[in-house]
Amino acid sequence: MAYTDNYARPINYLRVSVTDLCNLRCVYCMPEGGVPKLAHDDVLRFEEIVRIVRLAVEMGIVHVRLTGGEPLARKGIAELVADLAHIPGLDDLSMTTNGTLLREHAGPLARAGLGRVNVSLDTLRPERFRHITRRGELADVLTGREAALDAGLRPVKVNVVVVRGMNDDEVVDLARLTLEPDWHIRFIEVMPLGKQTYWSGNGVVSSGEARARVEAALGPLTAVHGAGEGVGPARYYQLPGAAGTLGFISPITEHFCYACNRLRLTADGRLLPCLLSNIAIDLRTPLRAGASDADLGALLLKAIASKPQRHHLAENALSQSIPMSQIGG
């Protein structure tokens, strides 16, 4: 049974950033030159990640998602997946990826025990893709998505960060994809991550506005309950006659803190009770100093007890001390 925080929320989900490295430089996430890289010895080793996850599962975590940076940039990632997949009590092991390297990795990941993947894709236009990511090819993501489906990593959910003036004119085109089999689109409100290129007061396209655009063009949306829903903050809908689902994630306009069920482990071993605060509990130092399982378990409990009731993005932009590439979003 999962532990609950001070606001009676059961904490059963852990996101694990396995690397701060990424092969893209998306304009709303990173500066063009990237962010300062972690020293090699500062990044958690696979056996350290496995130990932390094992302890977390013993304390009620049943959902683990691997993130980055770009998790497929971490050498030997399938080996880590195999080790995690053998932890008793871990019900759901998934990954979020930009998809550019997925074509070659999908089969090995599925054989290692990964259950499903989310793929980040903000546009269907090749030139715009190169502009948003500053590198990379749209075709690589699309073939990577197909490879994941062929390998059985289902459902493949497509994450779209919607930014006014960048890609909001594609909301209807992306939503229309859900009329086809195996397309599950999730629109995400852009968050104020410090001094990022596209953050400004009018950068946010609210989920309400995106939904209104979709319904005006394609018809009314019907709420989906049960099948198609996940363990995260998205609210899911379907278009008339659609085979796929359409999700909306609204951290700005309809915050979901009341139901937050997660912790986040950074690439360098800090445990975050909340993505949108600067609270961080160091696990790497005690881990490498010989801490017992009981000692580490106490730090996990401290993180759960430190979860704030809610974020305050509506009041002020986030001054994030830990680069998003180490947190994994």
Of 172, 166, 246, which Cα lies nearest the Cα of 200? 166
Task: Tell the residue number behind the tokens 């130990």, with chain if given.
Answer: 51
pLDDT of residue 197: 45
Please determine, for residue 227, whether its predicted confidence score (pLDDT) is greater than 70: no
Average confidence (pLDDT) over 295-324: 76
Angstrom distance (rounded) from CA 35 to CA 136: 18
Domains and CATH numbers, the chain: 13-327 (3.20.20.70)
pLDDT at 262 over 90: yes
pLDDT at 231: 66
Residue 199 pLDDT > 50: no
Stretch 156-173: mean pLDDT:
96
pLDDT at 312 over 70: no
Is pLDDT at 200 greater than 50 in this prediction?
no
What's the mean pLDDT in 142-160? 98
Signed CA dihedral, 103, 117, 69, 209: sign only: positive
Mean pLDDT of 169-186: 98
**What are the Cα distances from residue 13, in Å, to 132, 179, 231, 295?**
30, 30, 8, 21
The CA distance from 234 to 210, in Å, is: 14
Specify the higher pLDDT residue, 13 or 32: 13
Q: Does residue 152 or residue 324 have the better pLDDT?
A: 152
| pLDDT tens-digit map of 240-259 | 999 999 999 998 888 778 88
Residue 96 gets which letter from DSSP? E
Rounded to an integer, what distance in angstroms lies between the CA atom of residue 10 and that of residue 20? 28
Q: What percent of the chain has pLDDT over 70?
A: 89
Q: Of the candidates 116, 237, 128, 135, which has an alpha carbon nearest to the alpha carbon of residue 187?
A: 237
Taking the CA of residue 163 as centre, how many other CA atoms within 13 Å lie in the half-sphere pointing to its CB?
21
Per the model's pLDDT, the better-predicted residue between 319 and 66 turns out to be 66
Residue 119 to residue 21: CA distance in whole angstroms: 17
Confidence of residue 24 (pLDDT cuts 50, 70, 90): very high
- Residue 325: closest CA among 2, 8, 100, 29: 29
Report the length, in residues, of the chain: 329
Instruction: Please give the torsion angle defined by the CA atoms of residues 279, 283, 284 and 290, in that order, rounded to the nearest 10 degrees.
Output: 150
Angle at 210 between CA 125 and CA 67, to 5 degrees: 65
Per-residue model confidence (pLDDT) at position 191: 79
**In this structure, what token pair is assigned to residue 181?**
């089999």
pLDDT at 226 over 60: yes
Instruction: Give Rg (Cα) of the chain.
Output: 19
Phi, psi angles (nearest 5°) of residue 94: -135, 180
**Predicted confidence (pLDDT) per residue in 99-133, tens digit:** 999 999 999 999 999 999 999 999 999 999 999 99
Average pLDDT, the chain: 90
Residue 176 has pLDDT above 50, yes or no: yes
- What does the pLDDT read at residue 230? 60
